[in-house]
A and B are shown apart, each in its own frame.
Chain A
Amino acid sequence: MGVEIAIATAKVLVMVLIILHVMAFGGVYFERKVSAVIQNRFGANRANIFGGILPVNLGVLNTLLADPVKFLLKEDIVPAGADKLLHTAAPILALAPVLVTFAVIPFGDILTVGGRDINLQGAELNVGLLYILAMASLGVYGVVLGGWASNSRWSLLGGIRGSAQMISYEIAMGLSLIGVVLVYNTLDLQEIARAQGGYFLRGWLPAWGILYQPIGFVIFLVAGVAESKRIPFDLPESESELVSGYFTEYSGAKHLMFMMADFVEVVLVSALVTTLFFGGWQVPYLARYGAMGLPGFHFPWGATLALPALLVTLLQIGAFAIKLMFFTWFQVMLRWTLPRFRYDQLMRLGWQGLLPLALVNVALSALVIIWKAGAS
């Protein structure tokens, strides 16, 4: 019992460490410095520890420390006419459901330590994918209640926009995942990641999910960006018309929680895209049990490179983190590149563009699977 608790704790710590790294790189480095490069300005360069007494300046790392400290030290203001209970509960309701989804995302294959097989996934849930959709659908309450409880026009408009947008894109998102489930025949994310270990073209091309579900990938990514309510889908916030939408009336730590919820959603979309369409923790040509049952690289040109099993696992976790960072970077680039949609364009894209396309994708995937099953 004690050992199992220790293993579970270790898994949670590794996952949290990965998310924190991605958030630090994506949230602070990309959002503060890379965005500045895109807009031809310097970006955050004022934060300095002890006013520059230290011989080395840590650069953007100072901002990394200063940003949360600034938020946490600010005064917490609740507007006079606000519903106090719901005003306080809303940021928690926005952040908590997104955080718990990471419990079912696998970050590595099985690790064998001292004769004990450890599945590198927080919780083995046979309905993992549905669990993520369920929790993501609860995230909308934070937005709606935050907007309503603030007793402000801007907030209410933002909350209503947010709920309509999130419900609309949730449908396309769920439908785009049906194709993936059809291909892999399971809802367990670890099994989906493991099923992507095969190869095409005589062992040269890794058989990742995007090759089976290219349309599903595009729909999922677009719907995912819309779910995280960032540009080009940031109408619930849209600072040029609604001040900052549903969290206009929030300050300090609660404001930070809303911002974090949005950014953790970005990381969640990256994690799902990685796991479902880009092999999850798979490294090309790296296998825990290769041709001869040896852990290590098995290249298609016949060369092999044996590696200790622990190193294989570390490489897999590293690959997962790097893929996660890549898609986070991609979404940050989208945010700083594209203009905002108009609300009718947003709704038209969701209901008339993505939804029919997702339905066609489901039908096509099912037809191909039936045809292949009949052919073999």
Chain B
Amino acid sequence: MNPVLFLLLALLTLTAALTVVLHPKPVHSACALVVTLFVLSVFFVALDAQLIGVLQIVVYAGAIVVLLLFVIMLLNLQMESHAFGPGWVVAAAVGGGLMLAAVLVSQVWWAPGGAGPAVSAEFGYPKEVAQLLFTTYLLPFELTSVLLLVAIVGAVALTKKGLQ
């Protein structure tokens, strides 16, 4: 990936991501989230992972954030009364973010140098990804679907409780 392009895209991603957190209007935050996810998918495509890049748009930018916007519009949230939550929430979020950043940076820093593992010419193609997903990583893949099912059942149970 071209370093100049990378820096420009990274700057755009970070600006959009900060807008998500800092903008007082929820609808604008959601739109900034779409921009963040879209630029992330550009990174994936530039790194030869076209399938992951496109799936990123289909699932996150195209479906999940639309539902977020839908809820924001139905509740008619115009402006947040205060920009940040209670102090301990902000502290926990910042602390967690810093810890994640520390883990990632340390992993990259101490990673063995030299060329990475050789990849085939079809790297990132749907067939290649599906092959791995349905052979080597079948169990985690199926467990993820169970996790999603549990989340759905939990959401239904939580919303029904108030109605009874």
Q: What is A's interface to B at a CB cutoff of 8 Å?
A: 83, 85-86, 125-127, 130-131, 133-135, 137-138, 140-141, 144-145, 147-148, 156, 159-160, 163-164, 167, 170, 187
Chain B residues with CB under 8 Å of A83's CB are: 25, 27
Chain A residues with CB under 8 Å of B66's CB are: 137, 140-141, 144, 163, 167
Give the residue name and chain of the A residue nearest to B41 (CB). A134
Contacting pair B55 A130 (CB below 8 A): yes
Given contacts A86-B27, A127-B51, A141-B34, are A134 and B57 in contact (CB under 8 A)?
Answer: yes
Chain A residues with CB under 8 Å of B16's CB are: none
Contacting pair A137 B70 (CB below 8 A): no
Contacting pair B73 A134 (CB below 8 A): no
Report the separation of the CA atoms of residues A138 and B65 in the bound assembly, to the nearest whole angstrom.
10
A160 smallest CB distance to B (angstroms)? 6
The residue among B38, B50, B57, B62 with the most chain A CB atoms within 10 A of its own CB is B62
**Of A126, A134, A159, the contact of B58 (CB 8 Å cutoff):** A134
Q: What is B's interface to A at a CB cutoff of 8 Å?
A: 25, 27-28, 31, 34, 38, 50-51, 54-55, 57-58, 61-63, 66-67, 69-70, 73-74, 125-126
**Of A126, A138, A156, A187, the contact of B57 (CB 8 Å cutoff):** A138
Contacting pair B31 A187 (CB below 8 A): no
The main secondary structure of chain B at its interface with chain A is helix
Report the separation of the CA atoms of residues A156 and B54 in the bound assembly, to the nearest whole angstrom.
29
Chain B residues with CB under 8 Å of A156's CB are: 73
**Of A126, A138, A148, A167, the contact of B73 (CB 8 Å cutoff):** A148
Report the separation of the CA atoms of residues A168 and B47 in the bound assembly, to the nearest whole angstrom.
32
Report the separation of the CA atoms of residues A170 and B74 in the bound assembly, to the nearest whole angstrom.
21
Chain A residues with CB under 8 Å of B38's CB are: 138
Q: How many A-B residue pairs have CB under 8 A?
A: 71
A316 smallest CB distance to B (angstroms)? 27
Contacting pair A126 B27 (CB below 8 A): no
The residue among A144, A148, A167, A187 with the most chain B CB atoms within 10 A of its own CB is A144
Contacting pair A144 B70 (CB below 8 A): yes
Given contacts A86-B27, A126-B126, A127-B126, are A133 and B50 in contact (CB under 8 A)?
Answer: no
Contacting pair A138 B51 (CB below 8 A): no
Report the separation of the CA atoms of residues A135 and B58 in the bound assembly, to the nearest whole angstrom.
8
Report the separation of the CA atoms of residues A187 and B122 in the bound assembly, to the nearest whole angstrom.
14
23 sample A-B contacts, Cβ–Cβ < 8 Å, listed by A number: A83-B27, A86-B27, A86-B28, A126-B50, A127-B54, A130-B54, A130-B55, A131-B54, A133-B58, A134-B55, A134-B61, A134-B62, A137-B61, A137-B62, A138-B57, A140-B62, A140-B66, A141-B66, A141-B69, A145-B69, A156-B73, A160-B70, A170-B62
Report the separation of the CA atoms of residues A131 and B63 in the bound assembly, to the nearest whole angstrom.
14
The residue among B27, B54, B55 with the most chain A CB atoms within 10 A of its own CB is B54
Given contacts A126-B126, A140-B66, A167-B67, are A160 and B61 in contact (CB under 8 A)?
Answer: no
Chain A residues with CB under 8 Å of B28's CB are: 85-86
Contacting pair B57 A137 (CB below 8 A): yes
Report the separation of the CA atoms of residues A167 and B31 in the bound assembly, to the nearest whole angstrom.
17
A172 smallest CB distance to B (angstroms)? 14
Report the separation of the CA atoms of residues A207 and B69 in the bound assembly, to the nearest whole angstrom.
44
Chain B residues with CB under 8 Å of A147's CB are: 73
Report the separation of the CA atoms of residues A130 and B51 in the bound assembly, to the nearest whole angstrom.
8
Report the separation of the CA atoms of residues A225 and B62 in the bound assembly, to the nearest whole angstrom.
19
Given contacts A86-B31, A137-B63, are A130 and B58 in contact (CB under 8 A)?
Answer: yes
Give the residue name and chain of the A residue nearest to B124 (CB). A126
Contacting pair B62 A144 (CB below 8 A): no
Chain B residues with CB under 8 Å of A160's CB are: 70, 73-74
Chain A residues with CB under 8 Å of B25's CB are: 83
B34 smallest CB distance to A (angstroms)? 7
